[in-house]
């Protein structure tokens, strides 16, 4: 839960910075995307005593925010180039 709250705060901060016209918005969004995706992939692959620690279905559901983050980064990149 803590990771989810921190992720939401990070994305809300990114939206706030983008609306203010900050130049560091895109690097922040990419950083959040990479960190979130790395955590989601870790949840999919982590094992303990020969068994998966997180059920596969829950790990796949954990990748959904990364997909949304990828869409956000692509949109920010398009706007940055425009």
pLDDT tens, residue order, the chain (82 aa): 677 788 888 888 888 998 898 888 889 999 999 998 998 899 888 888 988 888 888 888 888 888 888 888 888 888 777 6
Helix boundaries (H) for 46-63: 56-61
Query: 7 with 31: CB under 8 angstroms?
Result: no
Report the Cα 75 to chain-centroid distance in Å: 15
Place of tokens 């180039």: 81
Helix (H, G, I), strand (E, B) or coil at 52: strand
Strand partners, 52: 47
């Amino acid at each position: 839960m803590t990771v989810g709250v921190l992720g939401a705060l990070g994305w809300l901060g990114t939206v706030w910075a983008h609306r203010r016209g900050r130049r560091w918005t895109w690097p922040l969004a990419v950083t959040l995307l990479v960190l979130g995706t790395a955590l989601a992939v870790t949840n999919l692959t982590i094992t303990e005593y020969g068994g998966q620690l997180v059920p596969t279905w829950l790990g796949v559901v954990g990748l959904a925010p990364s997909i949304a983050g990828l869409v956000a980064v692509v949109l920010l990149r398009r706007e940055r180039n425009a």
